[in-house]
Amino acid sequence: MAVQPQLDVAGSPRKGCLIRFFLIFFFLSTAGFAQDLGPEASRLAAAQSAFDAGRWDEAARLSQGPADQPAELDFLRGLALSRLEKWDQAKVAFETGARKSPRDSRFPVELAGIAYKQKNLRLAKQDLRTALNLNPDDAYAQEFLATIYFLEGNLEAALKFWNLEDKPRLRSVAFMPSVRLSEPLRNRALAFNAPQVLTSSALLTTESRLDNLGIFSSRRIALTPADSGTYDLTVHVAERNLWGDSKAQGLVALFSGLPYATVYPGLYNLGHRAVNLTSLARWDAEKRRFFVEASLPVYGDPGLRLRIYADARNENWNLSQTFTGTASLTDLNIRRIAAGGEFNQVVNGRWSWSAGAEAANRNFRNLSSSLSATEQVFFTGGNSLAGWVSAARTLVRAPERRFTLDSSVQARAGREFASSLGPFATFQGRLNAHWFPRDKGDDYQMQARIRAGATAGKASLDELFQLGVERDNDLWMRGHLGTTDGRKGTAPLGRRYFLASWEMDKNIYQNGLFSVKIGPFLDSGAIADSSGLFGSQRWLWDSGLQCKVRILGGVTVVFSYGQNLRGGKGVFYGTVLR
């Protein structure tokens, strides 16, 4: 067997030589490296000393060096130039350092400070978001960003970053002007109180509860800095009492529909308990209608509301352009009476739900005797009973981008008691995107909506969906008129539909009495029916302009001109939104 060589013991001459060699090499290398960095380290120490002593010019001069100098010197130079208010030079120094040290969050924070001094708040917010991406726990950047949003009037965005630091704490909460709403309802509508911290969730929940009461034509929540870092919160509202929030506003709301033979009587906040009575009376010879609704909070809860309504209609329809059956229906008369109720609950600021039921009776007159059995189904009168449940939820809320994406769904089921009809079910869904591209105000605001629905089972004519501009319909294709000589039935009808809409509003003029907005719109959709008797037959495209005139902060008058892009005459339409 071969003899194995003997291993050197620790500290033997062979291993000692190697250790001495590495020590000498490390010493020589370190000495050379220190000799290279010595002047930069000395210059940094001298510049820091001058900066700490308040000698900004000297600090800026000492920290100026070659392009490849350490990023720390660029940072110190930027700080010194900022103290001298030489913003452009300071910005160059910080940008130079940021390129050398892209993971250092101090550079974008200081760049944000320069942008703020130069009144470029958009750039300041961009730099601060960059800093927080690098260092999410930077309390100074969070406070700085929240303050900018607060100064812009974007309270929700400010709270998003303030809440990370358990701010802002409230000193007081008040309504301005004082409201007549009963104190228990008023207090329960608020999801916050002093000395609590105001959170984004509490803000949104409060806004939803105030809207659910139905007595405020406008509302705005504002913060004012107080002592010791606290804030005073003020809820600015315009409260409707009896006829409205003022006599002038009440008269405008009542008679706003006179151009189309309609009045809107209403009484609000009866007994100071948010009990509202609203109604509609239309004496148009072609489509008479009377609608009345009573609504009130349940169990004194502003988030839970009950509404009870009755609706009576006597309408003449002309289906010559939408019904493809053998009969000619140009003088169809529909009489319909319905009554129902609905509970609506605001769970929080992001979602709500409702459930309701309705009983109805309808009858049809002036029918053609030549209707087939398939055609007759749509014109069969009788009684019906239906119930529904719906939910609405915010899917995306980005207050710093001023963007929201809301959704809602509704499932409805019921039965027509006429022998030729029977049970039916309807499902509808909606997405609504809302964006304010400007950092402040509502100029150029944009909305985009996608809606779709379908009905299973047999349905009478008044239960069909329709795509067109008509006051009793909310599925607007603004280049398709819903009436002919005042008679309904011109818009495409069916049991299945898809509708996508986009619009933009540009502020044109405003004063204390009214405001005017103008902007383009684009509508696209299709509607169909399995019977083949109704439907659009092809995809629809409409485009045009609309003008919105808001009067006394309450009623909005909408004028639109839409063109069917597949041919046809332009449609001019005017109505009132409440």
Residue 473 shares a structural domain with residue 550: yes
In this structure, is residue 341 part of a structural domain?
no
Cβ contacts of 438 within 8 Å, gap of 6 or more: 402, 444
Last residue of a domain, one of 249, 280, 311: 280
In this structure, is residue 32 part of a structural domain?
no
The predicted structure's pLDDT at residue 12: 35
The predicted structure's pLDDT at residue 7: 29
Residue 474 shares a structural domain with residue 540: yes
With beta carbons less than 8 A apart as the criterion, state whether 401 and 482 touch: no
With beta carbons less than 8 A apart as the criterion, state whether 323 and 372 touch: no
Instruction: Tell me which residue range forms the domain holding 439.
Output: 379-577
Residue 126 shares a structural domain with residue 226: no
With beta carbons less than 8 A apart as the criterion, state whether 350 and 366 touch: no
Any idea which residue has 């004063």 for tokens?
511
Buried b (16+ CB within 10 A) or exposed e, 216-246: bbebebebeebeeebbbbbbebbbbbebbbb
Last residue of a domain, one of 280, 299, 323: 280
pTM of the model: 0.88
Tell which residue, 206, 499, 151, has the closest CA to residue 350.
206
Residue 192 shares a structural domain with residue 57: no
Nearest-angstrom CA–CA distance, 243 and 434:
31
Nearest-angstrom CA–CA distance, 486 and 60:
78
Residue 261 shares a structural domain with residue 207: yes
The predicted structure's pLDDT at residue 368: 81
Per-residue pLDDT tens listing for the chain (578 residues): 333 333 232 333 333 443 333 333 333 343 333 334 467 888 899 989 999 999 999 999 999 989 899 999 999 999 999 999 999 999 999 999 999 999 999 999 999 999 999 999 999 999 999 999 999 999 999 999 999 999 999 999 999 999 999 999 999 999 999 999 999 999 999 999 999 999 999 999 999 999 999 999 999 999 999 988 899 999 999 999 998 888 888 898 999 999 999 999 999 999 999 999 999 999 999 999 999 999 999 999 999 999 999 999 999 999 999 999 888 899 999 999 999 999 999 999 999 999 999 999 999 999 887 888 889 999 999 999 999 999 999 999 999 999 999 999 999 999 999 988 999 999 999 999 999 999 999 999 999 999 999 999 999 999 999 999 999 999 999 999 999 999 999 999 999 999 999 999 999 999 988 999 999 999 999 999 999 999 998 999 999 999 999 998 788 999 999 999 988 789 999 999 87
Three-state SS at 494 = strand
Cβ contacts of 537 within 8 Å, gap of 6 or more: none
In this structure, is residue 295 part of a structural domain?
no
In this structure, is residue 236 part of a structural domain?
yes
Radius of gyration in angstroms for the set of CA atoms belonging to the chain, rounded to a whole number: 35
With beta carbons less than 8 A apart as the criterion, state whether 448 and 501 touch: yes
Query: How many structural domains compose the chain?
Result: 3
> What do you get for the CA distance between the two ends of the chain, in Å?
106
The predicted structure's pLDDT at residue 419: 85
In this structure, is residue 369 part of a structural domain?
no
With beta carbons less than 8 A apart as the criterion, state whether 525 and 497 touch: yes
Q: Which two tokens stand for residue 309?
A: 């309504």
What CATH number does the domain containing 220 carry?
Answer: 3.10.20.310
Nearest-angstrom CA–CA distance, 524 and 522:
7
